[in-house]
């Protein structure tokens, strides 16, 4: 039987209602023990669970439970497959039920305004229609398991640099035609249980205070039924937030702001009916979870790993092929680049998963008896000058091979939540090695592991380019399947790859400060 939320709220004191509007700790809402109201737990997402019981953080610093890392949105969007991402959502929903999680924080649907945004790997596309359809399918998949989602970051949050204070200035037509549609489609087609407001200002008003955004557009225009929560630490004016339609402040330690809500009601600045409204909206979702809780669900990490492999194989994009692919397993093939044995398969920050297993392309090839020689070439996780000895090894191996496959991409130090990219370049060492190898072997294939577009100055000199994006923990197996023709690379780019960053329309206006790397060390948020 469904819980009578209105009756519960009528029995609560003002202080209890205000307390419901703030988190209990980093991941939980508050309980009201006197009335038997439970707290519930949420977890970072959206391409896997980052459940943390203690020492919570929102930048992936502390460990979380062992979970399955599915491909990031930059990859899944390239599949253009709503049925596939719906199945991925179902798997994540089951994982949430097994771990007693009520809400998974995702999907992230902000438009890719510039290729330099450090968090582009977590967003679907520059195309509002595609982003909305993929988000809706994912949400429907998760929520079919009686677990909620939190679509984010609402709205116009398209850069990491000063994301907690920058002002996104745009006309209403621009906002409604470009920046809103992904949210609108998801709200109308899937009704996410929660919406997460962004840090930034929109035409001068913080998203958390913005009544036009949170009430007029979200609820009146689109018919939204769930509750609105903050990004972690995104509250500006708590009382105005209640007026605007912001229900839940996260994370915990909200006693001071809870008190402000109570005082505002008592001194006549805030109508208590608005606090009742907020409490009701929160409790409807609390009991939507608890009244439909599914017991006995198991988190089968091995089975979900296989799902992650299958999904990654659907996301690969063959950018170029001059007849060298699929590879002939009988030929002598050299793998170059540390990503071959240690792939970059996920982004940094709040979506960083403590993965249950990671399979590399090199490991997968060896398991199948491929005729592979491996040369490290360059490090996977650093941006440092090319070692001449390694370059010499790579060139020597390439000269004696039928085909060379170079595994390249972007390390976390270049792209991650918390800071934007300074340019569209891959590490210079990688470009140098690719160009040198291509000169001695015309059958050079480049496999890319990156979360956003990169410049490819060597594109005309190589025989094939396979874009695997950040393909999750099964990306190595999926890459092997695509390279050797066991599966066809059927993905399509969901974003433009400019020849150079200056060709992107936002180039003259996108703020990517040269001091960005110092800024990255101190940023905090979700």
Each residue's pLDDT tens digit, 289-313: 999 998 889 999 999 999 999 999 9
Q: What is the pLDDT of residue 398?
A: 97
> Of 52-56, 194-198, 219-223, 350-354, which gets the smallest average pLDDT?
52-56
pLDDT at 524 over 80: no
Beta carbons of 449 and 345 less than 8 angstroms apart: yes
Q: What is the pLDDT of residue 520?
A: 36
Distance CA 205, CA 200 (A): 8
User: In this structure, what are the phi and psi dihedrals at residue 53, rounded to the nearest 5 degrees?
Assistant: -90, -35
For residue 511, CA distances in Å to 110, 386, 389, 394, 519 come to: 17, 30, 39, 38, 13
pLDDT at 59 over 60: no
Give per-residue pLDDT as tens, 399-408. Answer: 999 999 999 9
Burial 24-58 (b: 16+ CB within 10 A, else e): bbbbbbbbbeeeebebbbbbbbbbbbbbbeeebbb
Strands (E) in 376-427, as ranges, are 403-409
- DSSP 8-state secondary structure symbol assigned to residue 298: -
Which residues form the catalytic set?
Answer: 231
Please name each of the domains of the chain with its CATH number. 23-290 (3.20.20.300), 305-495 (3.40.50.1700)
pLDDT at 451 over 60: yes
SS3 138: helix
Distance CA 523, CA 319 (A): 35
- Helix, strand, coil content of the chain in percent (nearest 5): 40, 15, 50
């Amino acid at each position: 039987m469904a819980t009578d939320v209105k009756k519960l709220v009528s029995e609560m004191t003002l202080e209890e209602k205000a307390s419901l509007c703030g988190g209990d700790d980093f991941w939980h809402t508050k309980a009201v023990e006197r009335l038997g109201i439970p707290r519930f737990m949420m977890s970072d997402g959206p391409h896997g669970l980052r459940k943390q019981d203690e020492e919570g953080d929102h930048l992936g610093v502390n460990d979380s439970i062992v979970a399955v890392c599915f491909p990031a949105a930059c990859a899944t969007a390239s599949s253009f497959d709503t049925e596939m991402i719906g199945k991925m959502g179902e798997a994540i929903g089951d994982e949430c039920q097994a771990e007693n999680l009520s809400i998974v924080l995702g999907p992230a649907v902000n438009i890719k305004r510039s290729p330099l945004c450090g968090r582009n790997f977590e967003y679907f596309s520059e195309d509002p229609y595609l982003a909305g359809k993929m988000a809706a399918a994912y949400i429907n998949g998760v929520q079919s398991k009686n677990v909620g989602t939190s679509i984010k970051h609402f709205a116009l949050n398209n850069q990491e640099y000063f994301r907690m204070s920058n002002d996104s200035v745009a006309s209403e037509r621009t906002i409604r035609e470009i920046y809103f549609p992904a949210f609108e489609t998801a709200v109308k087609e899937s009704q996410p249980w929660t919406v997460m407001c962004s840090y930034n200002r929109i035409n001068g008003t913080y998203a958390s205070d913005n009544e036009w955004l949170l009430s007029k557009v979200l609820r009146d225009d689109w018919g939204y039924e769930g509750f609105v929560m903050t990004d972690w630490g995104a509250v500006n004016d708590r009382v105005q937030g209640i007026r605007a339609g912001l229900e839940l402040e996260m994370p915990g330690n909200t006693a001071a702001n809870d008190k402000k809500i109570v005082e505002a009601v008592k001194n006549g600045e805030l109508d208590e009916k608005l606090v009742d409204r907020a409490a009701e909206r929160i409790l409807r979702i609390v009991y939507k979870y608890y009244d439909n809780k599914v017991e006995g669900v198991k988190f089968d990490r091995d089975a979900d790993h296989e799902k992650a492999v299958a999904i990654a194989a659907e996301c690969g994009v063959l950018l170029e092929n001059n007849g060298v692919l699929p590879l002939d397993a009988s030929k002598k093939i050299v793998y170059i680049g540390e990503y071959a044995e240690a792939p970059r398969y996920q982004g940094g920050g709040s979506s960083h998963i403590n993965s249950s297993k990671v399979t590399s392309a090199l490991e997968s090839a060896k398991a199948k008896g491929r005729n592979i020689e491996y040369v490290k070439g360059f490090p996977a996780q650093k941006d440092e000058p090319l070692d001449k000895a390694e370059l010499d090894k790579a060139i020597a191996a390439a000269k004696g091979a039928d085909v060379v496959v170079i595994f390249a991409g972007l390390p976390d130090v270049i792209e991650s939540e918390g800071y934007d990219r300074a340019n569209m370049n891959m590490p210079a060492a990688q470009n140098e090695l690719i160009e040198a190898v291509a000169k001695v072997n015309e059958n050079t294939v480049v496999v890319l592991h990156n979360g956003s577009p990169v410049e490819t100055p060597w594109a005309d000199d190589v025989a094939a380019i396979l874009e695997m994006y950040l393909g999750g923990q099964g990306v190595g197996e999926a890459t092997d399947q695509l390279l050797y023709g066991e599966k066809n690379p059927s993905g399509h780019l969901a974003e433009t790859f400019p020849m150079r960053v200056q060709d992107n329309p936002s180039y003259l206006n996108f703020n990517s400060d040269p001091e960005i790397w110092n800024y990255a060390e101190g940023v905090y948020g979700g």
